[in-house]
Amino acid sequence: MPFELRVNGTAHRLALDPRTTLLDALRENLDLTGTKKGCDHGQCGACTVHVGGKRVLSCLTLAVGVRDPVTTIEGLAGPNGALHPMQQAFIDQDAFQCGYCTPGQILSAVACVHEGHAGSDAEIREYMSGNLCRCAAYPHIVRAVVQAKAATEKA
C-alpha cells in the first residue's frame, strides 16, 4: 500500500503492507535504528517518537495511518550536529547505563517539558512513568529532565 511518511523533515514515499508499524517502518525501511523495539506491546516506552509534536508509541501505530510529521532521536540534534539540550543533559547527568531505553526516554522527556509536566521531581516521575529503564537510572533521568528544562527556559 503506497503512502507518504514525513520523518525528521524528509518526506518518504513508501509502499508497505498495512500491518507495518511505524516502529518497523522506521527501523527496517528507513534505516532509522535509533528508535528501539522493547516490548512491542506499548508497555515499555522504548519506541517513543513524536508524531505531530506529541509523544506516542511507534509500536502501536500503523505506519500507513500516520498523518503528521514524525520526529525520532535522529532528528533532535541541530543541523550542525549540536546536541539537543535534553541529549546533553542525559550525558551530563549520566542518565543511562546500557542505553537501550535512552532514545525513548529522551523523546519522552522533551515532550514532558514541552507539555509543562516537569514542574517538580514528583511530576517528572509521574509523567515519565511510561518509559521503563531496566538499569534503573531513574534518579539520574529525573535530574537530566530538570537540567534540560532549565536550559530550555534560558534559551
Partner 1 sequence: MRAFTYARADDAAGAVHAAAAHAATTQFLAGGTTLLDLMKLDVMRPEHVIDINDLAAQFGSIEARKDGLHLGAFVRMADAADHAAVQRDYPVIAQSLQLAASAQLRNMATLGGNVLQRTRCTYFRDTSWAHCNKRNPGSGCDAVAGVNRRHAVLGASDACIATYPGDFAQALIALDATAGIVGPSGPRSVAFADLHLAPGVTPERETTLAPGELITGFAVPAGPWTRRSLYLKIRDRESYEFALASAAVALDVQDGAVREARIALGGVATRPWRAHEAEAVLKGGPVDEKSARRAAEAAFAGAVTHGQNDFKPELGRRTLVRALLRAAALEV
Residues forming the site for partner 1 (CB under 8 A): 1, 17-19, 21, 40-42, 45, 48, 54-57, 59-62, 64-65, 67, 108, 111-112, 115, 117, 125-131
Query: Which is closer to partner 1, CB of 32 or CB of 49?
Result: 49
Alpha carbon 15 to its chain's center: 24
Sheet holding 54-57, edge to edge: 10-15, 2-7, 70-71, 48-51, 54-57
* Three-point CA angle 93, 33, 9, nearest 5°: 90
| Nearest-approach distance from CB 129 to partner 1, in angstroms | 4
User: Of 21 and 72, which CB lies nearer to partner 1 in the complex structure?
Assistant: 21
Q: How far apart are CA 70 and CA 54, in angstroms?
A: 9
Closer CB to partner 1, 21 or 87, in the complex = 21
Residue placing its CB nearer to partner 1 in the complex, 60 or 151:
60
Give the position of cell 517538580.
120
Q: Provide the minimum distance between the beta carbon of 50 and partner 1 in the complex, in angstroms, as a whole number.
A: 10
Least distance in Å: CB of 136 to partner 1?
14
Q: Which of 23, 26, 50, 55 is nearest to 39 (CA)?
A: 23
Q: Report, in Å, the least distance between residue 42 CB and partner 1.
A: 6
Residue type, 139: P
Tell me the closest approach of the beta carbon of residue 79 to partner 1, in angstroms. Answer: 27
32 vs 56, which CB is nearer to partner 1? Answer: 56
38 exposure class (CB count in 10 Å sphere: 0-12, 13-18, 19+): buried
Cell numbers for 14, please give them.
Answer: 513508501
